[in-house]
């Protein structure tokens, strides 16, 4: 398969297959020169708009621009119209040319299929126990297995923020920082502020800041000079990476207590990253937030 063909398949998956997983997608094959297509298109536009709240979407494919896709569907004449759901064609709508005919067949399909919110709820119910299992595996310290489980869930729900964040955190725990960053960078822009994505980014950034080499020298520097904030900050990163979050928190809060503005507030920022990486519901994190508040507001 050529690069152009791979791009065509990728566009079809993005524009048709993925939306059809939760919507009843009406797919119209058309072309600029097609008179009957121009007559049908406004009717399809209106019906799709009227049924949007019920989970119906309309997508058009120009047979001249997407010749590979048209060939795969063996398009002999246009307009050709299919209904897609969950990645599969479920009805040939080509012979329905009036608004009343189209609304009737869409009502029938919507009555037979779980579309929209129902489908999304079913999909969510299916992946929730799998996410819980992956989190249990990750919590038990088996990062490679957690990555494997999350990869399987990701195939089922590629844009679910809990799945993307969980996969990234598992990759971080497995030491695959570059891949974790790639997973997060590929997440939809609309998820940038999502708590699961933010937690995974915090985990990634804390892991990426770990100093290289033996930490014995850092320990010695901190022991001999409590004002050596640079050594304490670096040692906190190492402790975070090794799982000793208590020691990391103590070191960072020690810096905040002595000089909260040190290095433009770097210790406080790193401390908040540590808490975010644990998750908002983590009891340890809530206790540490109270410690920080006590330092800042007393």
Which residues face 61 on adjacent strands?
A: 29
* Residue tagged active-site, from 8, 25, 34, 146: 34
SS3 sequence, 53-121?
A: HHCEEEEEEECCCCHHHHHHCCCCCCCEEEEEECCEEEEECCCCCCHHHHHHHHHHHHHHCCCCHHHHH
Q: Which of 37, 127, 231, 238 is catalytic?
A: 37
Residue 297 annotated among the catalytic residues of the structure: no
Active site residue 46: no
Q: Would strands 24-30 and 56-62 be described as parallel, antiparallel, or unpaired? A: parallel
| Runs of H (alpha helix) within the chain | 3-12, 35-50, 67-72, 99-112, 117-139, 143-156, 161-173, 177-185, 195-208, 216-224, 229-242, 245-258, 266-278, 283-297
Phi, psi of 214, deg, nearest 5: -70, 140
The position carrying tokens 């930490």 is: 215
Measured distance CA(292)–CA(275) in Å, rounded: 11
What is the C-alpha separation between 58 and 47, in angstroms, rounded? 9
Dist. CA 190–CA 194, nearest whole Å: 8
User: Using CA atoms, how far apart are residues 188 and 170, in angstroms rounded to an integer?
Assistant: 19
Question: Rg for the chain (alpha carbons), in Å?
Answer: 27
SS3 166: helix
Residue with tokens 């998750």: 279
Active-site positions read 34, 37
């Amino acid at each position: 398969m050529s690069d152009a063909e791979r791009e065509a398949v990728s566009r079809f998956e993005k524009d048709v297959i993925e939306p059809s997983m939760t919507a009843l997608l009406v797919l119209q094959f058309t072309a600029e020169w097609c008179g009957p297509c121009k007559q049908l298109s406004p009717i399809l536009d209106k019906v799709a708009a009227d049924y949007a709240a019920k989970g119906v979407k309309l997508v058009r494919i120009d047979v001249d621009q997407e010749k590979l896709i048209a060939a795969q569907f063996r398009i002999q004449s246009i307009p050709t119209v299919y209904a897609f759901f969950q990645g599969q064609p479920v009805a040939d709508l080509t012979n329905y040319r009036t608004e009343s005919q189209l609304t009737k067949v869409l009502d029938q399909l919507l009555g037979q299929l779980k579309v929209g919110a129902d489908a999304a709820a079913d999909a969510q119910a299916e992946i929730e126990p799998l996410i819980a299992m992956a989190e249990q595996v990750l919590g038990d310290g088996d990062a490679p297995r957690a990555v494997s489980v999350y990869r399987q869930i990701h195939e089922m729900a590629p844009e679910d923020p809990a799945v993307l964040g969980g996969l990234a955190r598992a990759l971080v725990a497995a030491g695959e920082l570059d891949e974790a960053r790639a997973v997060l960078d590929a997440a939809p822009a609309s998820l940038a502020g999502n708590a699961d994505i933010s937690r995974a980014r915090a985990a990634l950034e804390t892991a990426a800041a770990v100093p290289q080499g033996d930490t014995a020298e850092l320990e010695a520097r901190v022991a001999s000079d409590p004002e050596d904030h640079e050594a304490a900050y670096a040692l906190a990163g190492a402790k975070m990476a090794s799982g000793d979050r208590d020691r990391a928190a103590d070191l960072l809060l020690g810096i905040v207590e002595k000089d909260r503005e040190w290095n433009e507030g770097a210790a406080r920022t790193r401390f908040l990253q540590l808490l975010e990486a644990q998750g908002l519901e983590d009891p340890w994190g809530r206790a540490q937030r109270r410690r920080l508040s006590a330092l800042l507001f007393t």
